[in-house]
Homo-oligomer: A and B are copies of this chain.
Amino acid sequence: MRTQPVILAIDAFHEHVNATYPGPNAEKIDLVVTLGGDGTILHASSLFSAGAVPPVLSFSMGTLGFLLPFHIDDFAKALECVFEGKATILNRMRLACTFYNKDLAKKGNDGDDWQVMNEIALHRGSSPHLNTIDIFVDGQHLTEAVSDGLIVSTPTGSTAYSLSAGGPIVHPSLSALVLTPICPRSLSFRPLVFPASSVITLRIGDRSRSPAGVSMDGRTSHILNPGEYVNVQASPYPVPCINRSSIIEPGDEGEHHEGAGPGKDDDWVRDINNLLQYNATFRSKALLRHSRT
């Protein structure tokens, strides 16, 4: 890096700024620093829709998270490590979403793709009618989904909305697309995982009685009417996120297994139990206080 790095700092306040805010000139920026919650990082991602994203260093003001590896108290130390070139990167895959109207023409002012870091979700919202959505994979019909909606998620997003809807948890270093139905009107519609080379097309059925609302990374944007569709595929522009393991030495919590070769430090593997209450066993830690006389 140059001696005078250009840093773009984004805080929680700016995450609510209008989404049409013009994106920064990515080439001139060496580092993005975010201060806030997951929403701040998702907002940072949205600012770089047109191309490559600079490395992102994310600080939490409170609880840590998958996207929030650093606490603000470690600000100086983390920044120093980054500038000394010690940081390692996890390239978090994004999805490029392109919307089309019934005439197969791109929708919107400019026809640009939308880049999402967590997921794109189609949902009936408060309509009384279920969505009927045809799903195509690489142009081939997979199935017709009658449901509240559908989610296409990145591995990063697999611990967000997709998880609530019953999807699997996917390690963020895998390149894959997760398709998760929301309240499907079928007993047998299970989540699907596709390779990152797949193009998933979600097309509102012609006989669908209501349009579907589209939300991307939690922000409502488009309405898709019957016959309209969106193509979802891996974006060429992932988000390079700086890992905690490369900067903060792991404590004694990082138990390693002798017989399994030299252990890599993987923030995600270490954090999953804490962050998701993952696999919290019945009763195990639930010491119910009993009253004493």
Q: Give the residue among A138, A159, A168, A285 with the most B Cβ atoms within 10 A.
A: A168
Once bound together, how far apart are the Cα atoms of A163 and B285, in whole Å? 18
Once bound together, how far apart are the Cα atoms of A94 and B219, in whole Å? 37
In this assembly, does A266 line the interface, its C-beta being within 8 Å of a C-beta of chain B? yes
In this assembly, does A85 line the interface, its C-beta being within 8 Å of a C-beta of chain B? no
Count of interface residues, chain A, beta-carbon cutoff 8 Å: 112
For A211-241 the 0/1 string (1 means CB < 8 A from B) is 0010100111000000001010000000000
Task: Please indicate the chain B residues that have their CB under 8 angstroms from the CB of A173 in the complex.
Answer: 195
Asked whether B63 lies within 8 Å of A220 as measured between CB atoms, the reply is no
Task: Please give the distance in Å from A69's CB to the nearest CB on chain B.
Answer: 9
Q: Give the residue among A189, A288, A293 with the most B Cβ atoms within 10 A.
A: A288
Q: Could you tell me which residues of chain A, from 24 to 82, have a CB within 8 Å of some CB in chain B?
A: 60, 63-65, 70-71, 73-74, 76-77
Asked whether A147 lies within 8 Å of B123 as measured between CB atoms, the reply is no
Asked whether B280 lies within 8 Å of A187 as measured between CB atoms, the reply is yes
Once bound together, how far apart are the Cα atoms of A225 and B123, in whole Å? 22
Task: Please indicate the chain B residues that have their CB under 8 angstroms from the CB of A168 in the complex.
Answer: 167-168, 178, 190-193
Asked whether A255 lies within 8 Å of B141 as measured between CB atoms, the reply is yes
Which of B188, B195, B256 sits near A171, CB closer than 8 Å?
A: B195
Once bound together, how far apart are the Cα atoms of A88 and B249, in whole Å? 49
Q: Could you tell me which residues of chain A, from 127 to 165, have a CB within 8 Å of some CB in chain B?
A: 128, 134, 136-148, 155, 158-159, 161, 163-165
Which of B142, B278, B288 sits near A188, CB closer than 8 Å?
A: B278
Asked whether A143 lies within 8 Å of B266 as measured between CB atoms, the reply is no
Residue of B nearest to A247 (CB): B291
Task: Please indicate the chain B residues that have their CB under 8 angstroms from the CB of A290 in the complex.
Answer: 60, 64, 70-71, 73-74, 248
In this assembly, does A203 line the interface, its C-beta being within 8 Å of a C-beta of chain B? yes
Which of B100, B143, B257, B259 sits near A141, CB closer than 8 Å?
A: B257
Asked whether B139 lies within 8 Å of A264 as measured between CB atoms, the reply is yes
Asked whether A190 lies within 8 Å of B219 as measured between CB atoms, the reply is no
Task: Please indicate the chain B residues that have their CB under 8 angstroms from the CB of A125 in the complex.
Answer: 125-126
Asked whether B128 lies within 8 Å of A219 as measured between CB atoms, the reply is yes
Asked whether A255 lies within 8 Å of B291 as measured between CB atoms, the reply is no
- Residue pairs across A and B with Cβ atoms less than 8 A apart, 23 shown, are A63-B286, A104-B258, A125-B126, A128-B220, A139-B262, A140-B257, A140-B270, A143-B279, A146-B284, A163-B187, A176-B176, A185-B282, A186-B188, A186-B281, A187-B280, A188-B188, A189-B279, A248-B290, A275-B282, A275-B283, A275-B286, A275-B288, A277-B281
Shortest beta-carbon contacts, A-B, top 10 = A139-B263, A125-B126, A187-B188, A71-B290, A139-B260, A277-B280, A164-B183, A141-B255, A168-B168, A64-B288
